């Protein structure tokens, strides 16, 4: 009886060892040996292991699996269009943009940080060139035309409507001048010069009337003359007549009579002063952006993220084609050493491989038990 028990135990142990060792060896042979061995010209069977032998095929199959089943255009589109993903992107962009909106660095400093070759000198030079180009183009376009043809109808109407106002302004300024002490003194000087030119008659008239009394009498008459409707009508007609002559002149004739260089210089100087590029670039970025931070982060940014994800979702299939993701995975896997591939696979499935080994030992033990029973029956 003891012999039978020993036989059964022996065959079960031998079967378990064979099953366990066989499965363990089979698992090892998936990876090992890492390279082929030769005896003379003949390669040793089962070298290298299965995975080293078919690494290129494995890399290709992994690439196909990633593209066809794991990272597909549909899965990426679903992820991008997910509300939680868009909210996370929006919050991330809000956090990243906040320091920019509140930055104390000037625009000049930001331009240096971003290596953008722009400065106030460059912009002012560009402004000068732009003005000169516009003036040159305008001269070429309108030089052969008359002023009346070159000026827009609205401008001509405004000028004609401004003539009565200009007459009133001239009359008002003249009245103010001649009623002022300076005007009175000027009238007296003019009368003195007039009497001197008349010789003795003028001296006699001046001694008889007195220069001051003549000036006092002439000054009110000058004021009356200025305020008289006829005077204003003459001035009005004179301005209209001159305006009519000006409209009939060619633009190049008018330009030739103007100090073009002085006008261009003054125009450029005025534009630089009005635009104040240097002043704007010297202000901190927060001066310009902080007032709009709420609008950007709460209104514009969510809309831009939504539009951007829609656009990205539509472009994903073409983008994945351009990326050649399958080839990237294949090349990456091919670059791994066999030892690293073994570590990756065992790191994921080590427990399962142990269970396969234990299962082999269990099956081997059961087979050994069955064999021992058959041996006892047929012996």
- Over range 19-41, report the average pLDDT: 78
Total residues found in the chain within this entry: 379
Nearest to 223 by CA among 256, 186, 178: 178
Mean of all residue pLDDT scores within the chain: 80
| Per-residue confidence (pLDDT) for residue 92, from 0 to 100 | 92
- Over range 247-254, report the average pLDDT: 78
Nearest to 8 by CA among 379, 378, 366: 366
pLDDT digits (tens, 9 = 90+) for 287-299: 988 888 889 888 9
Of residues 264 and 301, more confidently modeled = 301
Question: Where does the pLDDT of residue 75 fall: very low under 50, low under 70, confident under 90, or very high at 90 and above?
Answer: confident
- Over range 45-62, report the average pLDDT: 75
| Per-residue confidence (pLDDT) for residue 304, from 0 to 100 | 92
| Per-residue confidence (pLDDT) for residue 202, from 0 to 100 | 46
Q: Where are the alpha helices (H) located in 249-300, listed in sequence order?
A: 251-256, 260-275, 277-281, 285-289, 293-295
Kind of pairing, strands 42-43 and 38-39?
Answer: antiparallel
Nearest to 119 by CA among 277, 273, 270, 269: 277
Query: Kind and range of the H or E element at 42?
Result: strand 42-43
Q: Using alpha carbons only, how large is the chain's radius of gyration in Å? A: 51
Of residues 150 and 17, more confidently modeled = 17
């Amino acid at each position: 009886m003891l012999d039978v028990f020993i036989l059964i135990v022996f065959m079960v142990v031998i079967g378990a060892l064979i099953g366990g060792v066989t499965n363990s060896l089979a698992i090892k042979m998936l990876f090992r040996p890492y390279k082929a061995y030769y005896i003379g010209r003949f390669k040793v069977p089962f070298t290298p292991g299965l995975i080293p032998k078919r690494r290129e095929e494995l890399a290709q199959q992994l690439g196909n699996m990633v593209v066809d089943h794991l990272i597909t255009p549909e899965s990426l589109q679903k992820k991008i269009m997910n509300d939680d993903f868009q909210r996370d992107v929006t919050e991330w962009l809000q956090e990243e943009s906040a320091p920019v909106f509140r930055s104390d660095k000037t625009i000049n400093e930001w331009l240096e940080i971003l290596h953008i070759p722009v400065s106030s000198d460059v912009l002012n030079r560009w402004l000068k060139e732009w003005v000169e180009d516009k003036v040159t183009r305008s001269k070429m376009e309108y030089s052969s035309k008359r002023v009346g043809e070159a000026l827009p109808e609205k401008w001509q109407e405004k000028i004609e409507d401004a003539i009565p106002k200009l007459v009133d302004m001239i009359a008002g300024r003249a009245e103010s001048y001649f009623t002022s002490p300076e005007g009175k003194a000027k009238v007296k000087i003019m009368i003195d010069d007039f009497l001197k030119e008349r010789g003795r008659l003028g001296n006699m008239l001046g001694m008889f009337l007195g220069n001051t009394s003549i000036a006092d009498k002439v000054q009110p008459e000058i004021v009356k003359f200025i305020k008289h409707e006829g005077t204003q009508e003459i001035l009005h007609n004179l301005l209209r007549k001159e305006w009519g002559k000006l409209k009939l002149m060619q633009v190049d004739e008018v330009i030739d009579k103007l100090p073009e260089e002085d006008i261009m210089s003054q125009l450029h100087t005025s534009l630089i002063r009005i635009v104040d590029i240097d002043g704007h670039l010297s202000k901190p970025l927060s001066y310009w952006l902080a007032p709009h931070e709420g609008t950007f982060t709460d209104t514009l940014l969510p809309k831009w993220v939504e539009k951007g994800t829609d656009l990205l979702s539509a472009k994903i299939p073409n983008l994945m084609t351009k990326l050649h993701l399958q080839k990237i995975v294949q090349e990456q896997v091919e670059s791994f050493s066999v030892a690293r591939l073994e570590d990756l696979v065992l790191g994921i499935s080590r427990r399962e491989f142990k269970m396969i080994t234990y299962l082999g030992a269990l099956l081997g033990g059961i087979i050994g038990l069955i064999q021992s029973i058959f041996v006892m029956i047929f012996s």
